[in-house]
Amino acid sequence: MALKIVKGSIDRMFDKNLQDLVRGIRNHKEDEAKYISTCIDEIKQELKQDNIAVKANAVCKLTYLQMLGYDVSWAAFNIVEVMSSSKFTYKRIGYLAASQCFHESTDVIMLTTNQIRKDLSSPNQYDTGVALTGLSCFVTPDLARDLANDIMTLMSHTKPYIRKKAVLIMYKVFLKYPESLRPAFPRLKEKLEDPDPGVQSAAVNVICELARRNPKNYLSLAPLFFKLMTSSTNNWVLIKIIKLFGALTPLEPRLGKKLIEPLTNLIHSTSAMSLLYECVNTVIAVLISLSSGMPNHSASIQLCVQKLRILIEDSDQNLKYLGLLAMSKILKTHPKSVQSHKDLILQCLDDKDESIRLRALDLLYGMVSKKNLMEIVKKLMLHVDKAEGTTYRDELLTKIIDICSQSNYQYITNFEWYISILVELTRLEGTRHGHLIASQMLDVAIRVKAIRAFAVAQMATLLDNAHLLTGNTQRNGICEVLYAAAWICGEFSEHLENPMQTLEAMLRPKVATLPGHIQAVYVQNAAKLFATVLKGQEGDADGTAAQEASQLMIDRLPLFVQSANLEVQERASCILQLVKYIQKLQQKDVEVAEEVSALFAGELNPVAPKAQKKVPVPEGLDLDAWINEPPSESESEDEQPKAIFAKEETKHSRPRHTEVDEKELARRREARKQEQANNPFYIKASPSSQKVYQDAPGVEHIPVVQIDLNVPLKVPGLPMSDQYVKLEEERRQKARADKKKKEKKKRKEKRSGRGKKHDSGPESEEDIAPAHMVDIVTEEMPENALPSDDDERDPSDPHKALDIDLDKPLADSEKLPVRSHRAAEAQKSPTDGETENATLQEPKKKSSKEKREKKKDKDRDRKKSKEEKKKKKHKDEDKEEDLLGGQADEAVLQSEETSQVAAPPTSASTPAEVSDLDFWLSNAPVPSNTQEAAAAAEAAPEPSVTAPDSEPDEPKDTEIEETKSSKHKKKKQKKEKEDKKKKKKHHHHHHHSDGGGEESVQNGTVEEEEPLPPMSNYCLLAENSYIKMMKEDAEEVYDIQGNLQDGSQVVVSVIFENKCSSFLKSMEFNVLDSLNSKLQRPEGSGPHDGLVVPFQLPPGVSNEARFVFTVQSIVMPQKLKGTLTFIVKNEDGSTHEKLDFKLHFTCTSYLITTPCYSDAFAKLLESGDLKSSSIRLEGVNMPFHHLLARICFHHHFSVVERIDSCASMYSRSIQGHHVCLLVKTSGETVSIDAKCDEPTLLGNVLDEIKQTFSQC
Amino acid sequence: MIKAILIFNNHGKPRLSKFYEHYNEDTEQQIIRETFHLVSKRDENVCNFLEGGLLIGGSDYKLIYRHYATLYFVFCVDSSESELGILDLIQVFVETLDKCFENVCELDLIFHVDKVHHILAEMVMGGMVLETNMNEIIMQVDAQNKMEKSEAGIAGAPARAVSAVKNMNLPEMPKNINIGDISIKVPNLPSFK
């Protein structure tokens, strides 16, 4: 055998392995592709062999080739084969390959579900680890749904290595299968306090990712995170938490107040720059959320700015970058604080590092004022010149425009200057932002009336020099500017000095090379200019000039009539005909100017881009209502297309209407189109992709342009905007001087003509008067427009699905699917009637809430309290008649029960949680250091620590009362229950449930529609005057692969509740091991050592701990004796106390709910390996489905089939014994026939079933 | 979240690519090329953060990279990650490689890309940081290697011998592209512990 293996490996050791492949590729540099294709052929051969080692080797090579860009999806099936190898070496190769090349649409993924499940439950932690790692990369919604429960089980694995991976992967599962979030969340939350720092960090990581997208759902965790923040020393965790707080504070300003102090302390104390930086960031977020009302507000902001300045001044470019980044956040709310560091930021503009320059640019945006705008822009313009042909230059350009146009041109004092800046920007080569400049030009020209004359002059020059902009195809982006120029010249042509010249410029043949939408504007505005020319020539005796203009139009327009662009063609031919007609009239000496200009009369007002959207719908108008009734319903789908051809038929009903409508619509559409064409604000609608790509025009097309030296654009050497800077300075100086004179100031300041000095001058914003009275026309909005600036989130965002309220109780349908056959999924919703109660009994449907209620049921069973009985009846009635019936009293009871079971603050019910948070937040800030010392380890101000005894002080009365009263209620209820419990103390019964999701029990509150009587698994273990222990055993039961000699593990969750008013600590849980059952203790501890309970209990608080037991034989029920020792600490001192208890493992606790197909069930029965036994129950008066539900719930069976009053059920023990039941009922007698391959086990299970029913 | 982790050399040859979001092979290569183009034109003493890059970019994402000898280590992360934290993580990654390969050089990454993946898998899982403690990472990697060796057992011996012979024929592996300054921490970045 061994020889054979050796031989096999000798055979394949001459196969190419990964190293050989890499070497080969390196040796075939010239014909790499060819070499690789031969390698792929070899790999295909290797994959055909049966030897898994050969296959794994091939897959390993494929993974490498995938990195080089080769598609290897064809080998997906082989990858799955390698994944399922039993050897870790190959499994790892398989999972790596899968993680590199599987994705959602890889179809073989669905074959992997069972393999992954097997690996997840492998005894080898690295098998599990490698499966989790792989799964994290290729999890699909199906895998997430099928495996969610398995992964959740792993979250409580004994090995921290597995726990941390399982916790982390849950995030991916949530993304793919959002339904799993609510059931899994309680456990995730629990992991925040895991003893292992890695697991803790993973849990923080996941919750931070979740909370970042939907912060409001996680506000209730703030106290917990706060505790972690003050106690953790792991910088990774701290950073994540601090970042999370940054996301939470905008939602809850009170949280911010609480945070400031600890964060400030951290800022002062930490040496880690990363932590410092994140603290500063979050403090900034806090300060933003607190608009005012912080006493030492300015101190904090000062601290931040000062720390950031240190970062920015640092020689490390990374810190400089981050400092600037954070600075820009402060800028939004506290521009003053940042402005004092202007020097530093301007300095960063000169940095050689582009990332830093970009960040500095962002900052500049907020630093401008009327005073320094011109100076800053001048500086930026210098940078624009330097930054030739880079994206950085484009960024500069947009920033300049942003800075100038911000808040409705607030900072611009001289629009002539701004127009000239825009004109200068048009000289940039190859920018993408031509349309941005164009829209600015339009906006300014339309809205600032005073500037129109100047703007028109500038635009005319631009048009004249259009060749400069369009000469190079590279500059295509910038030619958008001509669109604006043409429109401005046309629309405001009355300001033109020489309209004829401009008209000529607009009709040059070269215009035909421009993009279509620009040509269209040219043609239209040429007509406007023409009208102006005519009007101008009106008075002249001889109409030669006018006739020249007409002739020019008639000569040039045919070029546009031939345009390939429909819009251009249409406009050109209309206008051409019009001009021809006008020419005729001119020849008859008819005065036409008036009529022609009437074509373009009226002024266009700017309309806000969102105006249409904001028009409120008039009352009584229903936009969704039919204007004409739709065709009658009787018309079937396939007749529909016919109707299109046989129009008469449909029109038949209302021919008049449709016709009128169509005409009217067409007319309106036309009118609208025309309006749109003329409206400059439709510039955005015409995409620049319309550009006509044509060859660069030949030299002969370029007209020789006379350069008019009077036009400022061409002032040689000096860029013209500088003139304005100078002019402006002079103007301001003069104004200031005038003012000074007026005010008769004693000391007259002498000023040089240099800008810098002025800036440092004491001049305040208000002093600067605009150069000329500027009327900035606001954009028109409809009357009573509605504010509607809500930006909607991207609907495709996967995180949207995770916006789930986590405080709401779990509903039936939310249970995580457990391992089951797909066929079993045909369930109905739990609320739609009587019949589904049977389906509810299936494990899938069994929600944790039910369990909670079942507990009540159980109580009732045992106690037979009249009151409860009454309620049961009431409930049953309700169920049968109206599920929505008012059950207020029950609701109260239920929620109280919940809070009894629950352990605040980790798992309080919704209202309690909310008020807890309120309390926590309204509580005085952080306790001072002395207090902290006194409160020892539990320093974090949890409500439970401070709540009960503190005197209700001033404004918080109500809140405290609220918490108090709820506590009070809780206590009362508790007492009531204890009384009941004492009586039946020794009767308690332990029940199992299928794995996962249980602890969400505690998270639930009231659920009104409940078809099944409530059941619960928690039962009293022991109690004394100090503490009460409640137990739910078998949190999850899982087998550790059959071949391992030590049978199985059972997890027991115990709730510890502090009943006294003292502090309980140092709890140790110990059990006397029997031969069969042992408590699992950490490595290195002796067999009699106790396990330390990983928490302490303040008064009135309860918490849950889990203990793992190893069980050898499962055929008999077992009892274990145990002791809990703890220290009671109060003002007088501390005392040691102990509490004895007995743990009872029933046989049913070893059963796992396992679904079974009816055919498999039949085969099992036929096989004849099973021993049979039967019992008879008398006097059972409950509906059959309740009976089944009870067996399912308490004894972990699943229903295989149900026919009338007869049902077959199945379950499997953790060691693989099959248990089959046939349950029949007639009247009050229930007979159960059972079969199992282990008679002792069966006998015990049946006894237990009997016991369950004898109690009711 | 980490969106992608790339390692390529000074010529843009990929040495490791790990995408935590699916792209097809062509897009992946394009991303690598583009990222290389962005990163390689930056000077040595500029900051290690980079915005932009059309494919992997988006306003929320950043490239965070480090350059060691002949290799670029690039992480593409979103805003939930701390920038300085990721820089430190890269350092931890490289130091871990250095420990695992004993004076790591580019050739180690070239010939043992699978091992690099396994090491990375212990640090980052599905785009989220799993472990930052170097000793813990090395411990887990070693334990897995041990398992692999024990599985190979006798059967693995001849294969190992052959591969040793194969390696002997190599035109001497140049170890000179050593990442010499690997243990030198960047000033002002106190390590995460």
Mean pLDDT for A58-85 is: 91
Cβ atoms of A463 and A506 within 8 Å: the answer is: yes
Q: What is the pLDDT of residues A339-350, one digit of tens each?
A: 788 888 888 888
The C-alpha angle with vertex A1016 and arms to A1012 and A1020, in degrees rounded to 5, equals 155
Confidence of residue B172 (pLDDT cuts 50, 70, 90): very low
Closest-approach residue (CA) in chain A for B152: A89
Interface of B with A in 66-85 (CB under 8 A): 80, 82-85
Residues B124-143, mean pLDDT to the nearest whole number: 92
Pairwise CB contact (< 8 Å): B147 & A88: yes
Widest distance between CA atoms in chain A: 126
Q: What pLDDT, on a 0 to 100 scale, did the predictor assign at position A779?
A: 60
Q: Which of residues 171-230 of A touch B (CB under 8 A)?
A: 171-172, 198, 201-202, 205-206, 208-209, 212
Contacts of A789 (CB under 8 A, 6+ apart): A610
**CB within 8 Å: B45 and A10:** no
Q: What is the pLDDT of residues A460-472, one digit of tens each?
A: 888 888 776 665 5
Q: Between these two residues, A400 and A1170, which has the higher pLDDT value? A: A400
Q: What is the mean pLDDT of residues A373-378?
A: 86
Q: What band does A259 get if pLDDT is binned at 50, 70 and 90?
A: confident
Most confident of A210-214, A825-829, A927-931, B90-94: B90-94
Chain B residue with the nearest C-alpha to that of A126 = B144
A 933-992 near B (Cβ less than 8 A)? none
* Residue for token pair 């029920």: A1117
Q: Does A89 touch chain B (CB under 8 A)?
A: yes
The DSSP annotation for A448-496 comes to BGGGHHHHHHHHHHHHHTHHHHHSSGGGGGGGHHHHHHHHHHHHTGGG-
At residue A832, the 3 state secondary structure works out as: coil
What the block records as the tokens of A931 is: 């207090």
| Amino acid code (one letter) for A487 | W
Whether B190 has a pLDDT exceeding 60, the answer reads no
* CB proximity B129 to A under 8 Å: yes
Q: What is the mean pLDDT of residues A1173-1189?
A: 81
Long-range contacts for A1215-1219 (Cβ within 8 Å, ≥24 apart)? A1215/A1039, A1215/A1042, A1215/A1047, A1215/A1048, A1215/A1114, A1215/A1150, A1216/A1039, A1216/A1042, A1217/A1241, A1218/A1164, A1218/A1170, A1219/A1151, A1219/A1245
Most confident of A570-579, A1171-1180, A1192-1201: A570-579
Residue with tokens 């008049």: A656
A165 reaches B (C-beta below 8 A): yes
| Closest residue, chain B, to A5 (C-alpha) | B155
pLDDT of A666 > 90? The answer is no
**A-interface mutation test, from B79, B82, B89, most A Cβ less than 10 A away:** B82
Q: Helices A317-333 and A342-349 meet at what angle, rounded to 10?
A: 130
- Put simply, the chain B residues between 47 and 66 with a CB less than 8 A from any chain A CB are 47-52
Q: Range with the lowest mean pLDDT among A141-150, A176-185, A1149-1158?
A: A1149-1158
Put simply, the answer to whether A205 touches B118 (Cβ < 8 Å) is: no
User: What average pLDDT does range A244-252 have in this prediction?
Assistant: 85
Q: Please say whether the beta carbons of A729 and A378 come within 8 A.
A: no
How much of chain A, in percent, has pLDDT values that exceed 70? Answer: 65
User: Tokens 């940081």 sit at which residue?
Assistant: B129
Output the pLDDT for position A1123. Answer: 84
According to the model, what pLDDT value does residue A1064 have?
A: 79
Other Cβ atoms within 10 Å of A720 Cβ, number: 18
* CA separation for the pair A805, A798 (Å, rounded): 16
Higher local confidence (pLDDT), A1076 or A225: A225
A240 or A1164, which is more confident? Answer: A240
- Highest mean pLDDT, choosing among A11-15, A74-78, A434-438: A74-78
- Residue A1194 has what pLDDT? 78
Q: Do B128 and A205 make contact, defined as CB atoms within 8 angstroms?
A: yes
pLDDT at A507: 87
Residue A254's CB is within 10 A of a number of other CB atoms, namely 17
| pLDDT single digits (tens) A350-371 | 888 877 888 888 888 877 888 8
pLDDT of amino acid A898: 40
Of B16, B18, B22, the CB nearest to A104: B22
Phi–psi pair at B77, nearest 5 degrees: -130, 160
Q: Do A168 and B29 touch (CB under 8 A)?
A: no
What is the average pLDDT across B21-43?
Answer: 88
Choose, out of B80, B87, B167, B172, the residue to mutate when testing the contact with A (most A CBs < 10 Å).
Answer: B80
User: How much is the pLDDT for B182?
Assistant: 39
Percentage of the residues of chain B whose pLDDT score is greater than 70: 75
Peptide bond preceding A905 in cis form (omega within 30 of 0): yes
Lowest mean pLDDT among A65-69, A360-364, A421-425, A604-608: A604-608
Q: Quick check: A127 contacting B, CB < 8 Å? A: no
The pLDDT score that the predictor gives to residue A206 is 92
| pLDDT on residue A989 | 43
Determine, for residues B126 and A13 on separate chains, whether the beta-carbon distance falls below 8 Å.
no
Number of neighbours of residue A539 by Cβ within 10 angstroms? 7
What integer pLDDT is reported at residue B138 of this predicted model?
93
Helix, strand, coil percent content, chain B, rounded in steps of 5: 45, 20, 35
Interchain contact, B47 vs A274, CB within 8 Å: no
CATH no. of B2-145: 3.30.450.60
Q: What is the mean pLDDT of residues A777-795?
A: 54
| Chain B residues within an 8 Å CB radius of A66 | 25
pLDDT tens per residue, range A843-902: 444 444 444 444 445 444 454 444 444 444 454 444 444 444 444 444 444 444 444 443
Region A1096-1113 average pLDDT: 76
- Across chain A, what does the average pLDDT equal? 72
Residue of chain A minimizing CA distance to B62: A355
SS3 A709: coil
Asked if B163's CB is within 8 angstroms of A19's CB, the reply is yes
Average pLDDT over residues A146-152: 91
For the residues A615-638, what does the mean pLDDT come to? 72
Give chain A positions within 8 Å (CB) of B147.
88-89, 124, 126
Q: What length is written for chain A?
A: 1256
Q: How confident is the model at residue A265 (pLDDT cuts 50, 70, 90)?
A: confident
pLDDT of residue A1219: 85
Q: What backbone phi and psi angles, to 5 degrees, belong to A694?
A: -130, 160
Q: What digits encode the pLDDT tens for the residues A796-844?
A: 666 677 777 776 666 666 666 665 544 444 343 344 444 444 443 444 4
> pLDDT class for A701, splitting at 50, 70, 90?
very low
User: Has residue A34 got a pLDDT over 80?
Assistant: yes
Residue A272 CA: distances (Å) to CA of A401, A951, A1013, B188: 39, 41, 57, 8
- Mean pLDDT calculated for residue range A259-272: 86
- Chain A residue with the nearest C-alpha to that of B48: A318
Report which of A527, A455, A512, A505 is spatially closest to residue A677, judged by C-alpha positions: A527
Q: Is the per-residue pLDDT at A653 higher than 50?
A: no
- Distance between CA atoms of A1003 and A1005, rounded to whole angstroms? 7
Put simply, whether B139 touches A (Cβ < 8 Å) is no
Inform me whether the C-beta atom of residue B165 falls under 8 Å from chain A C-beta atoms: no
Calculate ∠ Cα B5-A362-B83, nearest 5°.
25
> Structure tokens of A156?
């409580």
Which chain B residues in 78-117 lie under 8 Å from chain A, judged by CB atoms? 80, 82-85, 87-88, 110-114, 117
> In the structure, what pLDDT confidence band is assigned to residue A144 with cuts at 50, 70 and 90?
very high
Mean pLDDT confidence for A367-395:
80
Sign of CA dihedral A646, A651, A652, A656: negative
Contact between A520 and A482 under an 8 Å Cβ cutoff? The reply is: no
Quick check: A963 pLDDT over 50? no
Between the CA of residue A200 and those of A164, A206, A213, what are the distances in Å?
8, 10, 20
For strands B2-9 and A1206-1213, give the pairing.
Answer: unpaired
Chain A: give the shortest CA distance to residue B151, in Å. 7
Q: Above pLDDT 90, what percent of chain A? A: 10
Which residues, 6+ apart, have CB-to-CB distance to A693 below 8 Å? A473
Residues of B with Cβ-Cβ distance to A65 under 8 angstroms: none
Q: Which residues contact B161 (CB under 8 A, 6 or more apart)?
A: none
The radius of gyration of chain A from alpha carbons, rounded to an integer in Å, stands at 41
Q: What pLDDT was estimated at residue A59?
A: 92
Res A1132: pLDDT = 73
More confident residue, A413 or A763: A413
What is the pLDDT confidence band of residue B97, given thresholds at 50, 70 and 90? very high
Average pLDDT over residues A291-295: 55
- What predicted TM-score, i.e. pTM, was given to this entire model? 0.56
Rounded to whole angstroms, how far apart are CA atoms A556 and A572?
10
How many residue pairs bridge chain A and chain B with CB atoms within 8 Å of each other? 185
Burial of A294 (0-12, 13-18, 19+ CB in 10 A): middle
Q: What pLDDT was estimated at residue A15?
A: 72
Chain B residues in contact with A23 by the CB 8 A cut-off are: 111, 170
Q: A236 and B17: CB-CB below 8 Å?
A: no
Kindly identify which residue of chain A lies nearest to residue B27, measuring between CA atoms.
A69
For residue A817, the model assigns a pLDDT of 63
Substitution target from A18, A91, A136 for chain B, most B beta carbons within 10 A: A136
DSSP state for residue A107 in the 8-state scheme: G
Q: Which of A215, A236, A217, A237 is nearest to A228 (CA)?
A: A237
pLDDT greater than 70 at residue A1008: no
Coil, strand or helix: which one is A555? Answer: helix
Kindly list the residues from chain B whose CB atom is less than 8 angstroms away from the CB atom of residue A354: 46
Give tens-digit pLDDT for A271-283: 888 888 889 888 8
Q: What is the pLDDT of residue A895?
A: 42
Q: Which residues of B touch A67 (CB under 8 A)?
A: 14, 16-17, 113
Average pLDDT of the segment spanning A919-929:
53
- pLDDT tens, A470-488? 655 545 677 788 889 999 9
